[in-house]
A and B are shown apart, each in its own frame.
Chain A
């Protein structure tokens, strides 16, 4: 069974703090993703990575950065947290799609509240 784990289920941070969200997958997947989930907006891609040290911006990268130093680990960084970054953050991983399934495996999410 593919397992994607996220470092925290719930996190409360103050405005201006630097926040680290960590994600680990145990299936040797090449691709890893960070999404935020907001009611009525679905899942929106923040960043993705297709290899160690490689990263690509998604649809809403502003205010975020990422780090992928090891294949199994993908970190999301909020350099200076703001209240509009209060959200559910979901990490996912997938194999490189080669005509087959592009299935993404999701972690349980981290609910971040910025006060």
Chain B
């Protein structure tokens, strides 16, 4: 019940295209849903996050769409750039943030 399922495992997008990564969860006790971005040789860094009382959050080219009834959320990267090439992890946290469950990750490659 604590899993967060992420798809696809890998994604290749043309420069200027839209990248979409999907995640699904089971446990309704999660109350914080972040996306982390990781470049090779670096630790993950928070990209954007959402709480379940909001259906969408946008920060620049990055948007989280959240469907509470379906227990799904997704990351959309508009106008994808080669510099966006990285591994993206969705995650879900319980209240207080003491425990966060991460998805398996999506390797995004944006072709120039």
Binding site for B on A (CB under 8 A): 4, 31, 35, 40-45, 48, 50, 56, 58-59, 90, 92, 94, 96-97, 101-109
Contacts and interface: CB of A to CB of B under 8 A. Distances in A.
Nearest to B51: A99
A114 to B, nearest CB: 21
13 contacts: A31-B98, A40-B9, A40-B105, A41-B104, A42-B104, A45-B99, A48-B98, A58-B99, A94-B97, A102-B96, A104-B46, A105-B45, A109-B43
Contacts of A102: 32, 34, 49, 93, 96-97, 100
A103 B49 contact: yes
A90 B98 CA distance: 16
B102 A42 contact: yes
A92 B34 contact: no
The 4 residue pairs across chains A and B that have the minimum distance between CB atoms: A102-B97, A106-B43, A97-B97, A43-B102
B44 interface: yes
A101 B49 CA distance: 8
A108 B43 contact: yes
A44 B36 CA distance: 14
A103 B43 contact: no
Query: Most A CB atoms within 10 A — which of B42, B45, B46?
Result: B46
B60 interface: no
Interface residues of B, number: 26
B31 to A, nearest CB: 9
A106 B32 contact: no
A58 B94 CA distance: 13
A76 to B, nearest CB: 15
A90 B105 CA distance: 15
A107 B42 CA distance: 8
A103 B95 CA distance: 12
A50 B103 CA distance: 23
Nearest to B9: A40
Given A92-B43, A102-B34, A103-B34, A97 B95 contact: yes
Give the most central of B9, B42, B89, B98: most A CB within 10 Å: B98
